[in-house]
Amino acid sequence: MKYSIKNVLSDATQRLSAQKIDTPRLDAEILLAHVLNCRRLTLYIDSEKILPLESVLRFNDLINRRLKKIPVAYLTGTKDFMGLTFAVNENVLVPRPDTEILTELVGEFLRERVGGGIFADLGTGSGAIAISILKFVKSARAMAVDISEAALSVAKFNAEKFHVADRIKFLCGDLFAPLEGKIFDAIVSNPPYIPTNELKTLQAEVQREPKLALDGGADGLNFYRRILCDAPRFLVDGGILAVEVGINQSSVVKNLFLATGFVDVEIIKDLSGLERVVAGKFS
């Protein structure tokens, strides 16, 4: 077989598909574009081009690792979110398109704040939420917290990459612990929310992601309880709290907001129509 782009891609697609990988062709294209350091479109334009053996070997190595259910984002070391290409590794949750709605909501709120506005991001991981907000709201500033030092080094790298490092402080600790005494216009979080006994039922790829970023305790709601309990002390009057929630969690979490005295509490759907965000105002 000639190692043309077309042949190499179709062979890899078949191998991935035989192992029931969800999006075999797309994954093969992303990985080959990564090896060749080109855009996916180029793979079509140059589909007859013969590849050097070295590229074929590197690509095959990535496909073999993908067959072991390692997420594509960990193999390329990148994931696009809000139109920005973030660095990721196995110490952070891979940013999901579902989370863009939360990012937009908080960004739009801060855009309207006179003098910019300062927000906290609890469990920042790769920094995708906080850094995207800073990128789109030039006057905003952030404090981003994570309990994992390894995650924070990924987030710091991304803050440098997108030139927002001068507007964000990274703090290592458990939720609000490193923020004592600070007051924010907004608090945002995509906390771990999978019930512990569901972790082992997740897709093999998700099981490769940090448990620390997924495990929300027995009913998946531990972090919402803790965040709601402390949030009022850390918000200005009229400030907002916005969190991502998992399947079937929106109404329970909305009730937690109401019980804590939040007003204008809203449930917002993501692009697939799933109830994905709960947000409310503190007054």
- State the residues that interact with ligand GLN by CB under 6 A: 93, 96, 190-194, 206, 214
| CA-based nearest residue to 150, from 178, 126, 176 | 126
- When CB distances to ligand GLN are compared, the closest residue is 193
Helices 100-111 and 128-136, packing angle to 10 deg: 40
Query: What residue has token string 């075999």?
Result: 24
Kindly tell me which of 107 and 192 has the beta carbon lying closer to ligand GLN. Answer: 192
- Closest CB to ligand GLN among 223 and 282? 223
Pairing of strands 275-282, 262-269: antiparallel
Q: How far is CA 235 from CA 128, 176, 181, 262, in A?
A: 22, 12, 11, 11
Q: What one-letter code names the amino acid at 193? A: Y
**DSSP of 99-138:** GHHHHHHHHHHHHTSTT--EEEEES-TTSHHHHHHHHH-T
Give 202's DSSP letter: S
Shortest spacing between CB 94 and ligand GLN, in angstroms: 9
- The least distance separating ligand GLN from the CB of residue 220, rounded to whole angstroms, comes to 8
Shortest approach of ligand GLN to residue 282 CB, angstroms? Answer: 22
Nearer to ligand GLN, 122 or 133 (CB): 122
Distance CA 112, CA 115 (A): 9
Q: Measured between alpha carbons, how far is 79 from 95 in angstroms, rounded to an integer?
A: 7
Residues 6, 47 contacting (CB under 8 angstroms): yes
Give the nearer residue to ligand GLN in terms of CB position, either 190 or 260.
190
Q: How far is the CB of 112 from ligand GLN (least distance, A)?
A: 27
Smallest separation, CB 193 to ligand GLN (Å): 4
Q: How far is the CB of 71 from ligand GLN (least distance, A)?
A: 11
Least separation in angstroms between residue 188's CB and ligand GLN is 12
- Please identify, using beta-carbon distances, which residue of 131 and 214 lies nearer to ligand GLN: 214
Rank residues 206 and 236 by Cβ distance to ligand GLN and give the closer one: 206
> What residue has token string 């995650």?
151
What's at 6, amino acid-wise? K
Q: Which amino acid is at 155?
A: A
Q: Which is nearer to ligand GLN, 26 or 274 (CB)?
A: 274
